[in-house]
Amino acid sequence: MAIGESLNERRQNLLPNEVSDNKEDIQLIWLHRNMNDSDDSLLIQTMLIELNSAAQFYSDFDRCLDLIKSIKDEQIFLIVSGAFAQQLILQSHHHRSLLAIFIFCSDDQYYKPLMQEYNKIIGIFTDQHDLLESIKEKMNLVEKQTLTFTLFDHKQKSSSFLLHQMLIYVIKQMSQDEQSKKQMLDMCRDYYKNNKHELKKIEEFQNTYTRDKAIEWYTDECFIYKLLNKALRTEDIELLFTLRFFIIDLCSVIERENHLLKNEGTLTLYRATQIPNEEFEKIKENIGKTISINGFLSTSRNIDVSLEFIHNNAQSNDSTSVLFEIKANPLLTTVIFANVGNKSRMKGEEEVLFNLNSLFKIVSVYFDSTLNVWKVELNATDEGAEKIEEYLSLSRQEMEEYTPLIYFGRLLLYELDQADRAGKYFNMLLKSLPHDHPDIATVYNNIGLVHMERGELNLALKNYEIAYEMRRKQLPSNHPDIAGSLNNIGIIYRAKGDLNTALDYMQQTLTIDESVHPGNNLGKAITIENIGRVYMDKEDLDTALTYLSRALEMYKHVLPDQHSQTALCLGGIGYAHEKKGILDIALDYYQQQLNMEEQCLPFEHSNLSIHLGWIINTYKKMNEIDKALDLCQQKLLIQKTRLGENHPRIARTLMIMADLIKDDNPDKALKYYEQALSVLKNCTLSDYQVTSECLTSMAYVYSKNDMIEDALRCQLKALELFRQTLSSDHTYIAISLRNLGLCYKKMNNLSEAHRYFNESLSIYQANYGPEHEMVKRGEADIARLKEKQLSLSAHEEEQRKFK
Q: 3-state DSSP call for residue 626?
A: helix
Q: Does residue 399 register a pLDDT over 90?
A: no
For the stretch 472-519, pLDDT in tens is 999 999 999 999 999 999 999 999 999 999 999 999 999 999 999 999
Helix runs in 726-772, H state only: 731-746, 750-767
Identity at 171, one-letter amino acid code? I
DSSP string across 433-494: S-TT-TTHHHHHHHHHHHHHHTT-HHHHHHHHHHHHHHHHHHS-TT-HHHHHHHHHHHHHHH
Q: Which of 94, 113, 145 is the last residue of a domain?
A: 145
Question: Is residue 244 situated within a structural domain?
Answer: yes
Question: Is residue 520 situated within a structural domain?
Answer: no
Higher local confidence (pLDDT), 46 or 399: 46
In Å, what is the CA distance from 261 to each residue of 251, 271, 301, 339, 692?
16, 19, 13, 8, 57
| Residue-level pLDDT at 156 | 44
Q: What is the total count of domains within the chain?
A: 4
| pLDDT band with cut points at 50, 70 and 90 for residue 2 | very low
What pTM did the predictor assign?
0.73
Question: Is residue 754 situated within a structural domain?
Answer: yes
Is the domain of 136 the same as that of 73? yes
Q: How buried is 549 (Cβ within 10 angstroms: 0-12 exposed, 13-18 middle, 19+ buried)?
A: middle
Nearest to 656 by CA among 708, 606, 587, 705: 606
Q: How buried is 528 (Cβ within 10 angstroms: 0-12 exposed, 13-18 middle, 19+ buried)?
A: buried
Q: How buried is 277 (Cβ within 10 angstroms: 0-12 exposed, 13-18 middle, 19+ buried)?
A: middle
Q: Which of 126, 145, 164 is the last residue of a domain?
A: 145
Are the CB atoms for 596 and 567 separated by under 8 Å?
yes
| Residue-level pLDDT at 157 | 45
How far from chain centre, in Å, is Cα 408? 14
Is the domain of 354 the same as that of 420? no
Task: Say which residues have a Cβ less than 8 Å from residue 540's Cβ, sequence separation at least 6.
Answer: none
| Per-chain mean pLDDT for the chain | 89
Nearest to 451 by CA among 440, 462, 442, 437: 462
Is the domain of 156 the same as that of 141? no
Is the domain of 185 the same as that of 197? yes
Are the CB atoms for 237 and 412 separated by under 8 Å?
yes
Are the CB atoms for 342 and 350 separated by under 8 Å?
no
Question: Is residue 631 situated within a structural domain?
Answer: no
Higher local confidence (pLDDT), 307 or 487: 487
For residues 639 and 633, what is the distance between their CA atoms, to the nearest angstrom?
Answer: 10
For the stretch 235-293, pLDDT in tens is 788 888 899 999 999 999 999 999 888 888 899 999 998 888 888 998 998 899 888 88
Q: Does residue 4 register a pLDDT over 50?
A: no
Q: Which of 446, 474, 502 is the last residue of a domain?
A: 474
Tell me the chain's radius of gyration from C-alpha atoms. 30
Is the domain of 160 the same as that of 72? no
| Residue-level pLDDT at 418 | 82
Are the CB atoms for 249 and 259 separated by under 8 Å?
no
Is the domain of 111 the same as that of 226? no
| Residue-level pLDDT at 440 | 96
Is the domain of 106 the same as that of 177? no
For the stretch 423-481, pLDDT in tens is 988 998 898 788 889 999 999 999 999 999 999 999 999 999 999 999 999 999 999 99
What is the extent of the structural domain holding 135? 2-145
SS3 labels along 603-625:
CCCHHHHHHHHHHHHHHHHCCCH
For residues 422 and 443, what is the distance between their CA atoms, to the nearest angstrom?
Answer: 11
Cβ neighbour number for residue 609 with a 10 Å cutoff: 20
Are the CB atoms for 365 and 296 separated by under 8 Å?
no
For residues 467 and 489, what is the distance between their CA atoms, to the nearest angstrom?
Answer: 10
Question: Is residue 625 situated within a structural domain?
Answer: no
| Residue-level pLDDT at 802 | 60
Q: 3-state DSSP call for residue 54?
A: coil
For residues 91 and 101, what is the distance between their CA atoms, to the nearest angstrom?
Answer: 13
Strand 149-152, strand 121-125: pairing: unpaired
CATH number (domain holding residue 7): 3.40.50.2300
Q: 3-state DSSP call for residue 577?
A: helix
Angle at 601 between CA 287 and CA 735, to 5 degrees: 140
For residues 411 and 591, what is the distance between their CA atoms, to the nearest angstrom?
Answer: 25
Higher local confidence (pLDDT), 36 or 206: 206
| Residue-level pLDDT at 801 | 64
End-to-end CA distance of the chain: 80
CATH number (domain holding residue 416): 1.25.40.10
Is the domain of 699 the same as that of 752? yes
**Mean pLDDT over residues 128-144, rounded?**
89
Q: How buried is 134 (Cβ within 10 angstroms: 0-12 exposed, 13-18 middle, 19+ buried)?
A: middle
For the stretch 667-712, pLDDT in tens is 999 999 999 999 988 666 567 889 999 999 999 999 999 999 999 9
Question: Is residue 532 situated within a structural domain?
Answer: no
For the stretch 528-567, pLDDT in tens is 999 999 999 999 999 999 999 999 999 999 998 889 999 9
Are the CB atoms for 719 and 740 separated by under 8 Å?
yes
For the stretch 751-775, pLDDT in tens is 999 999 999 999 999 999 888 899 9
Is the domain of 342 the same as that of 449? no
Is the domain of 170 the same as that of 114? no
Q: Hey, CA dihedral for 769, 773, 775, 780, is it positive or negative?
A: positive
For residues 550 and 571, what is the distance between their CA atoms, to the nearest angstrom?
Answer: 14
Nearest to 761 by CA among 778, 785, 780, 741: 778
Is the domain of 351 the same as that of 420? no
How far from chain centre, in Å, is Cα 523? 27
Is the domain of 69 the same as that of 99? yes
Question: Is residue 338 situated within a structural domain?
Answer: yes
Percent of the chain with pLDDT over 90: 60
Q: Does residue 1 register a pLDDT over 60?
A: no
Q: How buried is 390 (Cβ within 10 angstroms: 0-12 exposed, 13-18 middle, 19+ buried)?
A: middle
For the stretch 191-221, pLDDT in tens is 999 899 999 999 999 999 999 999 999 988 8
CATH number (domain holding residue 331): 3.90.176.10
Q: Compute, in degrees rounded to 10, the torsion defined by CA atoms 594, 598, 604, 608.
A: 0
Higher local confidence (pLDDT), 738 or 279: 738
Question: Is residue 217 situated within a structural domain?
Answer: yes
For the stretch 593-612, pLDDT in tens is 999 999 888 888 889 999 99
Angle at 255 between CA 250 and CA 257, to 5 degrees: 95
